């Protein structure tokens, strides 16, 4: 299965290199990033003897997702990416959705929040909410923030995917941003005892 994902990743890379359309190349690269996130999860699942990754496996997985984002965006240390998972463990299906949200939001921050030589920080926090099963995922940065006239229609495919994943998690996504003062995305959801069944269409 991991090799299958590697093949898809390679094919998308070939298509990306052959196109001269800049927008198409960006879409191919974004698709490669998403395939890589899922492939990393399958690698984690295969290495876990019990078949149920624990808190340490989740943290190691998210650390690798963040390293992939840093490599892809090539910020060369200008932006520090930090992770706090608070000992949280998730079912595999929840891990996939959570990691894809992390990847999309961090890619977005690294790609847009720190133009030029601007330095800064992106912080990813996965923690427990007020209820016994309540969790939150927070991705914040101290970059330039979103323009005051930003609208839902102007948001890219990455944020649309995050909203779709939020629905899949039966969660709630909020965003706080002031131009020049960074961005704060917070996804709140519940951690069920059993994995959710993902739709096939």
Residue 128 — very low, low, confident or very high, per pLDDT cuts 50/70/90? Answer: very high
In this predicted structure, what is the pLDDT of residue 148?
A: 65
pLDDT at residue 111 is higher than 70: yes
Torsion angle (degrees, nearest 10) of CA 43, 49, 53, 55: -120
- Report residue 33 as tokens: 């990033």
Between 132 and 5, name the one with better pLDDT. Answer: 132
Q: Bridge-partner residues for 128, per DSSP? A: 135
In this predicted structure, what is the pLDDT of residue 53?
A: 79
Long-range contacts (CB closer than 8 Å, 24 or more residues apart) made by 166-173: 166/101, 168/97, 168/196, 168/198, 169/94, 169/97, 169/98, 169/196
Cα 84 from Cα 124, distance rounded (Å): 6
pTM, 2 dp: 0.79
Residue 200 · residue 146 · CB < 8 Å = no
CA 117 to mean position of chain CA atoms? 24
Mean pLDDT, to the nearest integer, of 20-42?
Answer: 67
Long-range contacts (CB closer than 8 Å, 24 or more residues apart) made by 4-12: 5/35, 5/36, 5/38, 5/39, 5/42, 6/39, 8/35, 9/35, 9/36, 9/39
Cα 172 from Cα 150, distance rounded (Å): 20
Mean pLDDT, to the nearest integer, of 34-59?
Answer: 75
**Range of weakest confidence among 36-40, 99-103, 159-163:** 36-40
pLDDT at residue 194 is higher than 50: no
In this predicted structure, what is the pLDDT of residue 153?
A: 45
pLDDT at residue 196 is higher than 50: no
In this predicted structure, what is the pLDDT of residue 36?
A: 74
Please provide residue 33's backbone torsions phi and psi, each rounded to the nearest 5 degrees: -60, -45
Burial of 1 (0-12, 13-18, 19+ CB in 10 A): exposed
**Range of weakest confidence among 73-77, 138-142, 153-157:** 153-157
The SS3 assignment for 32 reads: helix
Residue 125 — very low, low, confident or very high, per pLDDT cuts 50/70/90? Answer: very high
pLDDT at residue 19 is higher than 50: yes
What average pLDDT does the chain have? Answer: 79
Between 11 and 190, name the one with better pLDDT. Answer: 190
């Amino acid at each position: 299965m991991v090799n299958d994902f590697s093949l898809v990743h390679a094919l998308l890379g070939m298509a990306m290199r052959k196109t001269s359309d800049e927008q198409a190349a960006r879409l191919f690269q974004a698709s490669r990033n998403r395939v890589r996130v899922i492939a990393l999860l399958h690698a984690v699942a295969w290495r876990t003897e019990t078949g149920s990754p624990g808190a340490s496996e989740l943290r190691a997985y998210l650390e690798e997702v963040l390293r992939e984002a840093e490599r892809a965006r090539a910020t060369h240390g200008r932006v520090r990416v930090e992770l706090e998972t608070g000992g949280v463990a998730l079912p595999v299906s929840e891990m996939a959705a959570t990691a894809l949200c992390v990847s999309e939001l961090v890619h977005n921050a690294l790609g847009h929040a720190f133009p030029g030589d601007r330095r800064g920080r992106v912080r990813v926090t996965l923690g427990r909410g007020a209820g016994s099963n309540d969790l939150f995922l927070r991705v914040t940065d101290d970059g330039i923030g979103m323009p005051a006239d930003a609208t839902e229609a102007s948001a890219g495919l990455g944020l649309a995917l995050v909203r779709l994943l939020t629905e899949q998690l039966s969660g709630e996504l909020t965003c706080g941003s002031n131009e020049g003062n960074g961005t704060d995305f917070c996804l709140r959801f519940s951690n069920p005892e059993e994995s959710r069944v993902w739709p096939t269409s």
